[in-house]
C-alpha cells in the first residue's frame, strides 16, 4: 500500500517580488501565477489523482480550481492548511518589521521555533496545526495519488517532517512559486521524497 502526494506551492502572488509576509492575508495570484498553475495541471492530468486539497486562501484555492478542472475533480479547501499567521506583521517586509517592532524582531530571530509575533503563530504552533491535518488526509487515501496545492511555509513544514529534519532546517528547503514535490507514503510509516521543488 502506498499513498503518493503531489505537494505543490501556489503560483506567483501580486506582491511576490516584495518579499512580504502575507500569512493569512488573501492575496491573489498574478497572470504568471495562473500560467504556473496550468503547468502543474498539465503535469498531473495523466496521473490517477483521486483528490485535490488546498488551503482556504484564494492564492491556494485558485490554483486548486485550475488543477481540479483539468482532472475532472472538485477541490477541497481546508482552513487548517493555511500559511503561518504572523499576526500584526502580516503584509510587512522583514525590514519594515525590524523598523516598527525592533525588540520583537530581535526576539523572533533569537528563537525562530518558539517566538510568536504579536497576535501570530510560532513555528511550533504551525507544525502542531499542519502535521496532524496532513497525516489525516494522507490516511484517508490508502493506495491512491492525491494533490495538495498549499503554501511555501506549509510545504517546508511537511517536507522537513518527512525528511526527519530538525524543524529549524526547514528554512534550507526552497519552495518556488508553482513548485512540485512528490512524496510517497508507505503503509509501514516510511515516507520517501521522490521530487523536491520541481
Residues 6+ apart with CB under 8 A from 19: 93, 94
pLDDT averaged over every residue in the chain? 96
The predicted structure's pLDDT at residue 76: 98
Which pLDDT tens digit goes with each residue over 116-140? 999 999 999 999 999 999 999 999 9
CATH 3.40.50.2000 fits 2-84+123-195, yes or no: no
Q: Give the contacts of 40 (CB within 8 A, at least 6 positions apart).
A: 8, 63, 66, 67, 149, 178, 180
> In the prediction, which pLDDT does 24 show?
95
Kindly report the pTM of this predicted structure: 0.95
Quick one: pLDDT at residue 189?
Answer: 85
As given in the structure block, the three cell numbers for residue 153 are 511555509
- What are the backbone angles phi and psi of residue 16, rounded to the nearest 5°? -60, -35
The residue to which cell 502572488 is assigned: 13
Assess contact for 176 and 36: CB atoms under 8 A. no
Residue ranges in the chain modelled with pLDDT below 70: none
The C-alpha cell at 132 is: 496532524
Look at residue 87 in the predicted model and tell me its pLDDT. Answer: 96
- Hey, where are the domains in the chain? 2-84+123-195
Amino acid at each position: 500500500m502506498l499513498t503518493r502526494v503531489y505537494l505543490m506551492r501556489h503560483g506567483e502572488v501580486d506582491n511576490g517580488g516584495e518579499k512580504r509576509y502575507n500569512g493569512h492575508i488573501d492575496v491573489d495570484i498574478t497572470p504568471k501565477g495562473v500560467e504556473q498553475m496550468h503547468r502543474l495541471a498539465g503535469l498531473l492530468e495523466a496521473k490517477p489523482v483521486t483528490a485535490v486539497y488546498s488551503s482556504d486562501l484564494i492564492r491556494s484555492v485558485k490554483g486548486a480550481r485550475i488543477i481540479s478542472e483539468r482532472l475532472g475533480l472538485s477541490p477541497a479547501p481546508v482552513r487548517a492548511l493555511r500559511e503561518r499567521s504572523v499576526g500584526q506583521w502580516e503584509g510587512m517586509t522583514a525590514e519594515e518589521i525590524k523598523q516598527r517592532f525592533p525588540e520583537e524582531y530581535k526576539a523572533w530571530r533569537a528563537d525562530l521555533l518558539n517566538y510568536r509575533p504579536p497576535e501570530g503563530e510560532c513555528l511550533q504552533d504551525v507544525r502542531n496545526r499542519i502535521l496532524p491535518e496532513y497525516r489525516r488526509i494522507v490516511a484517508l487515501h490508502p493506495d491512491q495519488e492525491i494533490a495538495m496545492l498549499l503554501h511555501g511555509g506549509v510545504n517546508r513544514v511537511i517536507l522537513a517532517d518527512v525528511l526527519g529534519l530538525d524543524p529549524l532546517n526547514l528554512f534550507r528547503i526552497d519552495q518556488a512559486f508553482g513548485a512540485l514535490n512528490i512524496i510517497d507514503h508507505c503503509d509501514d510509516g516510511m515516507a520517501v521524497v521522490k521530487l523536491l521543488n520541481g
